[in-house]
Structures are given as structure tokens and as C-alpha cells.
A and B are shown apart, each in its own frame.
Chain A
Amino acid sequence: GESVGLHLPTLSVQEGDNSIINCAYSNSASDYFIWYKQESGKGPQFIIDIRSNMDKRQGQRVTVLLNKTVKHLSLQIAATQPGDSAVYFCAERVDNQGGKLIFGQGTELSVKP
């Protein structure tokens, strides 16, 4: 069935370093891949997305890479800050199925000052 999973459940980085969070997916029919940030007790917040026909997209301090050959997605955060500490989820969206999002398990990012 459809699934999106993450390689690592936790990631600890030093403030100022770059962070890389990885994700594997299984549904080749997904239209978009999205990264969400979730702080404790809150709903997920959109970070960045990438269409399935792209391989890289950059935002402010974040870059998403998509490798369709190996069905792998990654989120790179430059100059990680304490405020980046949260759980990060990758998700895939299938637009011909009501735009539903299928989420992975999540990676908890901890930034050490």
C-alpha cells in the first residue's frame, strides 16, 4: 500500500550546522512531496514542497531534494537554529484522490546551542 517513511527517528545537530532529514516513499503516482514542521502540541506547519517532475527546490534556509530513481526525499536546513527544533514530517500528496496527504513517521530534530 501507500506509505511514506523516514530513515531516522531522531537527529541532533549543533547550532549553526546544516541539518539533513531523509525520507523514503513508495507511491510513484504522488504529485507533490511536502515537508512539514510540527512543534509540540501544535498542528503541522508547511515548510516547502516539490512537484514530482522536479528534483530540487530552494526556500529560505531550506532545500528539498527529490530522487525519483530511488524514491528518496530530503530536507536540508542551513545554519540550523534552536527554533528549528521540532518534529519534521515528509508527506506525499495525490491530487486525483482529493489531494490527500500521506505522512511518514517523523524525525525529531534537536538543536544544541
Chain B
Amino acid sequence: SQTIHQWPATLVQPVGSPLSLECTVEGTSNPNLYWYRQAAGRGLQLLFYSVGIGQISSEVPQNLSASRPQDRQFILSSKKLLLSDSGFYLCAYTTGPGAEAFFGQGTRLTVV
């Protein structure tokens, strides 16, 4: 069966520190992968998506970057966190056009 893993579940980081959030998918090949950010009480904002290894599309200019070093691994990074990077980060995947999107359980990031 297909599953998606995202970690850590919560993270508190100081301003200026680096960030690395990891997402992995099991049970499928060549998924489309997505990173979303959700502010409190708001909808989900698409940050990055990837249709293959090394292929990253950025949706909004920001302090973050994404990488896809392996087919089923998607990483969200920052060299220096800002207070405004705080939020709930969600990884998701789809298996192709018309397919349902499945979300991870999310990472609650607090930058202090």
C-alpha cells in the first residue's frame, strides 16, 4: 500500500538557523510531490512541486528551497530561517493526472 511519511512532527528553531524537513513516499513510483505551507486559520499555500528527480518548480518567492534527490524523497530547506517561516508544513503526493492527492501529517515549525 502507498504511504507518505513526514518528519519531524514539531520543530522549534531559532531565527537564522538552517532547516531541513524530509518527506518520503512508499508504495508507488515516480509520484508528483508537493510542499505546502499553512498559516494558522488559513488555507494551504503551494510552495514547490516536483514531477521527477531533480525537477523542482517554485510557486512563490521565499526564503525556502526544495530538492528531490531520489524518486520518492522530497526535502524542504532553508539556510537561514526567518520569523515569518513559522507555520504548518505539509508534504503531499499524487500518482498521476486525475489522481487523488495524499497528505502527510505535517510539521509544525515555530521560529523563535
Contacts and interface: CB of A to CB of B under 8 A. Distances in A.
Looking at A32, A100, A101, which has the most chain B CB atoms within 10 Å of its CB?
A: A100
19 contacts: A31-B97, A42-B105, A42-B106, A43-B103, A43-B105, A46-B101, A89-B43, A91-B44, A98-B32, A98-B49, A98-B51, A98-B57, A99-B32, A99-B96, A100-B46, A100-B59, A101-B92, A102-B46, A106-B41
Interface of B: 32, 34, 36, 41-46, 49-51, 57, 59, 90, 92, 94, 96-106, 108
Contact of B103 (A45, A93, A106): A45
Nearest to A9: B41
The binding surface of chain A is classed by DSSP as strand
The binding surface of chain B is classed by DSSP as strand
Contacts, number: 64
Contacts of B59: 100
